[in-house]
Amino acid sequence: MNSNCWILSFPDEILNIIFYHLNQATTMQAMLVNKKFYQIGKVKLYRCIYVLGSQWPPLAIDAKADTSFHREFTIINTWEQLEVLYLSSRMNLVRYILCRGEQLEFKQAITENWPWIRVELEQCFDGEEESIDALKTDFTKEVIMSNYLPLEQDNYTAKSMIIENEWSVSTNILDIVPHMKGLERIEIVGRSENSLKNLKLTSKTPLHIKWLCVSLLEVDYIDYSELQRLFDLSEITSFEIHLAYLDEASEHENELQRLMKKCTNLKNLSFETTAMLFFPNIMSTLQKHSLEKLYIACASHPPLRSYYLDLYMLNQTNSLTELLVSSTTEGRWSFQEFDRVYKIDREQEEDNTQPEELKLLRDFMRESDTPHPKLRHIVLDRNHYAITNTEHGVQVDPMN
């Protein structure tokens, strides 16, 4: 046997582990090596399917899109591609399908023909009146609730709950949370300064949740201290702040600065706002070198310069692994944006941003007085860049 082909002698169990760490494009390339790799790659390629759908921007399918999400899933960007899979014998290899957003009937259509396949939705589109039906299923990962609906039995599947309390009607909707045993994320959507105040909790003990999102629409001021009554802020590790339809947000800036001081275990922080905030001020009360992911999407953000990168990573350089800065707020999914690399047709879209951004990032990493030992990934709008520390310095490479 050729000494350069020692990997060919590995047992299937070891090759399965190796293929598990390959993304979709690299798996397809490896399948061309020989029949053994083809069979192992085929099983890996069809085990977990992610269905995006044509209503969303397509995800990249190439070797450079190397994130944990792209390694776990084979991506189907359009319904036409899904129909082709339906008609093939490869459906026998599928074990799990995750869909970005669909109706409850989506699972039924699959399980009637392929009952062994587990199906989950990232978001259910069935409407408010059927939210309790979505909650009773075993496959909806995110549910949208507007009113308190008693749940007779515990739910173990829903990972995220969106509370739409836009018009500040007093509600005990949070009382359902203890029955949602797998819940990781709560998003509160409000349209009034009383949106938090009118959320009632029967229990006097604040809820324990790891991931909290507050989305406010046309709200000039809100008392963020109400969150202390509802949640144990010291347990929150991921926090999202969405402020929409605002031209000025100085009142939020002061309140958020006080709020951040109480989030003593925060690892991931996201700002998505139409109004410019001085983000370093808000972050100044965070514990130093504690953040791992920082997401800043601001519609009124000025053109990016090294100055802003320095400011945003100030006091977090020893811990930060991923940073996103964008002037686009529409169609974003917060921390998911780090893991999901978009396909960009640069010629058709006349997108010439990448060369300029590459120069900016390479100059910044080379000239920065402060090392960034854990920084691995920077996203500027939709452009992803891998950061690698080598013996010759820091390397910056495009991922899409």
Among 248, 237, 243, smallest CA distance to 271 is for 243
| pLDDT of residue 72 exceeding 70 | yes
Task: Quote the CA–CA distance of 106 and 111 in Å, as a whole number.
Answer: 9
- Average pLDDT of the chain to the nearest whole number: 87
Please tell me the predicted confidence (pLDDT) of residue 243.
93
What are the distances in angstroms from CA 161 to CA 41, 164, 315? 36, 10, 32
Please tell me the predicted confidence (pLDDT) of residue 390.
85
- The sheet with strand 160-165 has its strands ordered as 142-145, 160-165, 185-190, 211-217, 238-244, 268-273, 293-298, 322-326, 377-380, 383-390, 393-398
Secondary element (H or E) of residue 394: strand 393-398
Among 139, 130, 144, smallest CA distance to 107 is for 139
Q: What is the SS3 assignment for 144? A: strand
Task: Quote the CA–CA distance of 394 and 96 in Å, as a whole number.
Answer: 38
| pLDDT of residue 4 exceeding 60 | no
Secondary element (H or E) of residue 225: none
Please provide the DSSP assignment of 165-213 as one string.
ETT---B-GGGGGGGBTT--EEEEEESSTTTTTTB--SSSSPB--SEEE
- Its pTM stands at 0.87
Task: Quote the CA–CA distance of 300 and 280 in Å, as a whole number.
Answer: 16
Task: Quote the CA–CA distance of 211 and 216 in Å, as a whole number.
Answer: 17
Of the segments 42-51, 99-108, 306-315, 335-344, which one has the largest average pLDDT value? Answer: 42-51
Name the token pair of 226: 């109400």
Name the token pair of 83: 């129909």
Q: What is the mean pLDDT of residues 96-105?
A: 79
Q: What is the mean pLDDT of residues 263-271?
A: 95
Please tell me the predicted confidence (pLDDT) of residue 84.
93
Name the token pair of 393: 């310095």
Q: Yes or no: say if 196 and 228 are a contact pair by the CB < 8 Å rule.
A: no
Name the token pair of 228: 């202390």
User: Burial code of 288-316, b = ≥16 C-beta within 10 A, e = fewer?
Assistant: eebbbbbbbbbbebeebeeebbeebbebb
Q: What is the mean pLDDT of residues 129-134?
A: 49
Q: What is the mean pLDDT of residues 370-388?
A: 92
Task: Quote the CA–CA distance of 136 and 3 in Å, as a whole number.
Answer: 57
pLDDT digits (tens, 9 = 90+) for 166-188: 556 788 889 888 888 888 999 99
Task: Quote the CA–CA distance of 385 and 376 in Å, as a whole number.
Answer: 8
Q: What is the mean pLDDT of residues 257-262?
A: 93
| pLDDT of residue 65 exceeding 60 | yes
